Amino acid sequence: MTTATTPVRTAAKPSAPAVSARKHRPGRRKRLELALLLGPALLLFTGFVLVPIGIAAYYSVFNWKGFGPLDDFVGFKNYADAFGGKVFQSAIVHNLIIAGLSIVVQLPLSIGLALLLNRKLRGRAVLRALVFAPYVLSEAITAVIWALMLQPNGFADQTLRGAGLGGLVHNWLADPGIVLYTMFAVITWKYVGFGIILLLAGLQGVPAELREAAALDGASAWQTTRHVVLPLLGPTIRIWIFLSVIGSLQLFDVVWIMTQGGPANASTTMATYLIDHGFKRYEFGFGSAVAVILFVICFVFALLYQRFALRRDTQGALTRMVG
Amino acid sequence: MFVKRRITVLAALAAVVPLALAACSGGNDTPAQQPSGPVTLTWWHNGTTDPIKSIWEKVVADYHQAHGDVTIKAQPLQNEDFSTKVPLALQSAEPPDIYQSWGAGDLASQLTSGKVADITDFTKSWITQTTGKFGENWQVDGKQYGVPFEQHFVGFWYRKDLFQQAGITTPPKTMDELNAAVTQLKAKGIAPVSVGGKDRWPDAFYYNYFAVRECSIDVLKQSVKAVKLEDPCWTKAGQDLKNFLATQPFQTGFAGTPAQQGAGSSAGLVANGKAAMELQGDWEPGTMSSLTEDKQLDSNVGWFPFPSVAGGQGDPAAVLGGGDGFACTTRASKACADFLQYLGSEPVQTQLAAQGAGLPVNTVAAKSLKTDTLKAVYDYGTKAPYLQMYFDRAFPTAVGAALNDAVANMFAGQGTPEGIVAAVNQAAAGNK
């Protein structure tokens, strides 16, 4: 929240007050610069983000099948229906479970692997490429591959049996009690590489001198990691949590392709519910209401998280006014 | 990471708005001024794979040769894309002139756009002769809005070799016999029935058929028309399904199995001898042949109708099915209707039948069907006293989807027979 107090530009007449100089001389040019540089982006942002959100909000108060005029105004009925429906309630819970599991499982996993891959070891480059590979695959391909591997007596089952773990074989995609965790495993496989790369980048920012100093002071490897490296990774970890939670809330592709939200809605997420009801049933008004709910949840989370968790990390970077 | 997806959806919604506003001002019932002179028709069909892909390509070329002033611009779309693209297109200023339509409830939903053409006058001279009574499924309130080119009937496809192994000599005719067959197959370690539970609609076939067997034809007609399930037969159908599920007739993990994708799909399991039978439409042999290396498959596969249900009020010979057709939009509905007449004519229908693309609507083409099994299916279907459209097509779209979901839930071990009926009635009343 620091505001630069020193005027950067020097006024033409040293005697003129800085304020009036700011007002007049650079004003027009600056406005032109702003319009030129910001204009196109602002236009696109308005046209493809703000306006659609507004339109979705408008549709969401109508009972509209996608055909014909918008003449059946129903107020907030669509919202009430969504929140009152068991399937949508469970969809929200599923999103929250995925988000929670991401933080509890994926984060430690990513940190552990990143620390490991940050050490000098043989074949490090190959290993790094390997863990990152799934992230490069498209979600559709990931989902199709895993759907094939997880089918009954498929690759996953046979591997487990081959390893003498036949007792662990389950109906990965067909058991309503398991399917959500199957989805989570696939997402983890896909996105853990992204976390690792992010954290590896963060680790490059930890000065070697600090570790050396800690070692000289007699700190063990664990103590160095815990009290020197991890705190310095804080900003990276907080950004990762942010991306991961937003991603979890909007989870769609993998679930839609692998299960379509089934069986018995056991893997439905807010986004699959949206598509299922908005498009497949021609209930565009209701679907828009769900889209708005999804948007508001993500937006509120993003704001709160920025305000309370990312505040220190972005301090200066986002709030400092230059010139 | 997922942000892009949401924006796409919103952008799609955004694209509709101006069009929606434009649509409000349009919407006239009188046939639009038909364009004179050379005309180009855009044609959205779902023939993305052979044999139908090549047939449609040939149809486009042949039709242009015979009618020099008509050019057809075909646009094959993935089948699944129709449910999203057609609503958007019908709001736009330039919808396709001809688009794939499955008739009944869907078509009725689309009428409200004001863009779907009433082609009664252009078709009445030939429609009955070409499509028989079947063409009525593309009518709404007695007016013709589309024309079918293929019909479909659902029944059990089974492997003769596996039935023989289990000592089943004749295909089951009653539910008791079917249950006995399931027991015999299980005793031999064969998965008796495969079903593509992930896709939900294959689950619904079972409830649909139990309802067709439990409910009288009058009740079926009246309930579909009123979009309301009141007769106790609808609940009995759910109970029949529940009883059948209790015998555990399906393959392992059926609730997560896709219907048609890959060798592990329900069709693939039958094609590769991993399951003995499947309740599916007449497209099944075509689907199966692409999922196996077995070149002798056709001779190894037989068909029998859905068994009769003891005490049911329904006609044991009534058939569940549906069909593929095309609807016209208003810009050039006359030219469109003429083209649809060509699709129903003997040369095209014969090709469809001979190449195994589907069951023809025009009876003259029936003799060209590829296999005796398909001929048997055709005979059973066309001689049936009543054809019930799949309920997810017969009902308005949202109601049909609600029915499929409720049935799929029962397949996944949740829900009650009463729950299925309630789900349909709730959806019909506009509740989510």
Q: How confident is the model at residue B249 (pLDDT cuts 50, 70, 90)?
A: very high
Q: In this predicted complex, what is the ipTM? A: 0.83
Average pLDDT over residues A59-71: 87
Taking the CA of residue A115 and the nearest CA in chain B, the distance in Å comes to 24
CA nearest A270 in B: which residue?
B6
Q: Distance between CA B402 and CA B427 in Å, rounded?
A: 6
SS3 B252: coil
In the predicted model, is pLDDT for residue B172 greater than 50? yes
Nearest to B328 by CA among B120, B135, B30: B120
pTM for this prediction: 0.86
**A176-185, B8-17, B389-398: which has the minimum mean pLDDT?**
B8-17
Nearest to B343 by CA among B39, B140, B43, B31: B43
Taking the CA of residue A154 and the nearest CA in chain B, the distance in Å comes to 9
**Percentage of chain A with pLDDT > 90?**
65
* A270 within 8 A of A89, measured Cβ to Cβ: no
DSSP B362: S
pLDDT digits (tens, 9 = 90+) for A2-24: 444 444 444 444 444 444 444 55
In the predicted model, is pLDDT for residue B26 greater than 90? no
SS3 A269: coil
What pLDDT does A6 receive? Answer: 42
Q: Distance between CA A13 and CA B112 in Å, rounded?
A: 71
- Indicate the residue of B9, B252, B256 with minimum beta-carbon distance to A259: B256
Q: Which of A299-313, B119-133, B183-197 has the highest mean pLDDT?
A: B183-197
In the predicted model, is pLDDT for residue A189 greater than 90? yes
Taking the CA of residue A173 and the nearest CA in chain B, the distance in Å comes to 5
Beta-carbon separation of A173 and B87 below 8 A: no
In the predicted model, is pLDDT for residue A94 greater than 70? yes
Average pLDDT over residues A115-131: 88
In the predicted model, is pLDDT for residue B29 greater than 50? no
Q: Distance between CA A253 and CA A186 in Å, rounded?
A: 12
Beta-carbon separation of B397 and A259 below 8 A: no
Q: Distance between CA A216 and CA A194 in Å, rounded?
A: 33
Establish, for the pair of chains A and B, how many residue pairs have beta carbons separated by less than 8 Å: 177
Q: Which residues of B276-309 are buried (b: 16+ CB within 10 A; e: fewer)?
A: bbbbbbbbbbbbbbebeeeeebbeebbbbbbbbb
Average pLDDT over residues B286-301: 90
Nearest to B136 by CA among B401, B404, B386: B386
**How high does pLDDT run on average in chain B?**
89
**Percentage of chain B with pLDDT > 90?**
75
Give the helix ranges, DSSP H, for A66-220: 77-84, 86-101, 107-118, 124-136, 139-149, 155-162, 179-204, 208-216
pLDDT digits (tens, 9 = 90+) for B351-409: 999 988 889 999 999 999 989 999 999 999 999 999 999 999 999 888 999 999 999 99
CA nearest A264 in B: which residue?
B409
